[in-house]
Structure 1
Amino acid sequence: MSKKVRPGKPVRIILPVGEKELDITERRLIDLVKGIAGNSVHIDIYTHTAKVHDAIAEKTGGIKTIRHIMMKNEFRFWTMVQRDSFAKTFIRLNHDLLVPGTDMKFWKQVGFDDFLWNVSSDIFPAITEPYDLMLFPIPSADESPAVLTDVFYTHSLFFAKENGIPVAGIQLFPVFDMPPILLTMLDYFIVKEEYEKRYLVSRGVDEHRIFVADALMDNYCISTVEDTYKNLMFGQSIHVDRDSLGIIVVNHPRNRQQLYEIFEVISDADIKTDVFFVFTQYAVRNLHEKDVFNALTKPVMDRELKRFYTLNIDGLVNVIMLCDMIIATTYLVSLGFAIKYRKGGIIYNPLRKAHPHFNDTVFAHSKEALREAILEQYTKKRRQLTVADIIHRILS
């Protein structure tokens, strides 16, 4: 199911969210929304609790393309005549539906229990604005949301279905805990890992309706596992664009020729890059590292690179989380750290003996091998899916 977006108009997305689904991601779900919203995408976040509303307002204040809307519930007292009418309506609509594998009528099992006695006393006002897509945080069957939140989610899904709005579920909790009814109610599924996709396929979901958000930032925003280092991705003053490859190059006191060749290869790769040059705080006799850099290395970088930044070694971890790969002329502990977080790691030094790849580190011993490794990392980045990419695919 897809819905055509009017040309020239921003995509309008509705996101209903309850307290448990927001808290399970330590509110990173709001950071995900901030990364999606822009001039071409407007997002309205609906909630029914003051706590969630205030949290959203605090993190998105001043962003004109994100609105936070409070849905206030109203209490209803249903008389026995009305409850009897609910049960009769359900039976009339489902009188020929059997419990699978039996000849028992389905309404006999749930008609009176659910539609006579377990009728919610709360209702929500109608949603009247038009939307192109609903992003729906999938709740857990085992850690089910509060009763009022359940009604709120049901109200939101009913609105989407009644108005032909496609619904893309965002998998937050373990995929095995998904309420079974959502397997058929949701039009698309956004998951974090390939095994989650395989599980949904095994449950009968068409694989073309499942998307793996494997871009690191978005993947973490919908994860329930806190990571101190991944938190460094938020609030950075420097940003690497999606179409640019963020490359860290670590300085070395002796291997300046290798560094010059690295800059040359980056330039010849003919792709958009942001290069971060890391000072390691060495000294050569009376010369400080930055004196050597200004006299010898910086002129080469000015000639070969369109855009680069410099930083001290104590800021390396922050930049690793921001960038896509790290290149050094000798093995560093930071290479292993970068690879752990799915960043590319390359050692370039033609003077050293050739080695096979170790711990996913690429040992490049020629300019050609270095260029191939850089382009491979660039292609890998371009193939990663963000939630914004997924939205575009759904609506295109």
Structure 2
Amino acid sequence: MNYVVSHPWFQTWVAALIAVLVTTLIHRAAQMVLMRATRSSITVQAVIQAVRTPAGIALPLMALQAVWQGAPDDLRYIDKVRHLNGLLLIAAITWVLVRVVQGFANGLIASHPVDVEDNANARRILTQTRVISRSAMTVLVVIGAAMMLLTFPGAKQLGASLLASAGLIGIVGGLAAKPVFSNFISGLQIALAQPIRIDDVLIVEGEWGRVEEITGSYVVLRIWDDRRLIIPLSYFIEKPFQNWTRSSAQLLGSVFFYVDFGMPIAPLRAEVERIVRAAPQWDQRFFNLQVTDTTERTMQVRVLCTAASSGQAFDLRCLVREELLAFMQREYPQYLPLHRLHTEERAGRVDGNNLDAATVRNDALAAGPSPAA
């Protein structure tokens, strides 16, 4: 017992034990008080919950660092203990800062749910928060690692020698890292300018899909048939694309038909009104039917109708196309497009009196865009 009490490290270890116990009690008490005091704030509570574990490690390390700094300099291994504790403290503080950013992002997203009908503002906040928080966490980790490296005496000399001879290597490395930095800057531009957001409906490279995820380097586009299109972030800054939900999820859908010139338009217009008004996908904004073009054989009829979202617009277009086609087949089959093929009754003679007219009816043309349109 006398040997333990008389050991040079005895007082230092006792002080370290007391410091750990006190900071642990302070951490638990502070956590309980803060959780009760911030019950009305989802964001602040998310931050407190996120930093609970790393803060429980960082606070004792801070207290221990103070104990080691106050210990006599002639203690054996004190310098190594100080250095090791300093490295752990930098790592713990970096962890705390990363979790603060992550908790704030999660709380902000939870405060603006996207599972509502009008979620344009929530999707904007979701996209900005995710992209910026991931970029910030990456920067914090890099800074923390750099600070840990700088605690080693040889690291400064190594850095100076690398800088002195890094001309060509720096150029090669810069060219190699160009896509990484390009995507990083593009991510910040997307977060601030908002050309795309989570759950936006896009047409990219001829594919129709929704933005499922935005990472620090690429965007995951969920195609309508459940395929995934992976696109670099820089694509959305450098190339054009279609965004169907940029300012609103509401869309105007179109359906095209080709009919004979004898088709009366008034009954078609009345049938379109009946179909659209009875459709649950219609958002009560607008619909009409117009003759928009003619060819030498047919006229083009266009139906416009609105819906609250791209999915409902697609379903509404399909419904209008099917029911209007059934109406024409039932009430006006004679006015569906016809192609007349004249065959000669006798070989080698082309005479109007000797021509046998054979009429071949084609299927009605219901030209509508593909699912990606």
TM-score, scaled relative to structure 2: 0.25
Of structures 1 and 2, the one with the larger relative CO (CA 8 A, separation 6+) is 1
TM-score, scaled relative to structure 1: 0.24
Higher helix share: 2
Q: Which has the larger radius of gyration?
A: 2
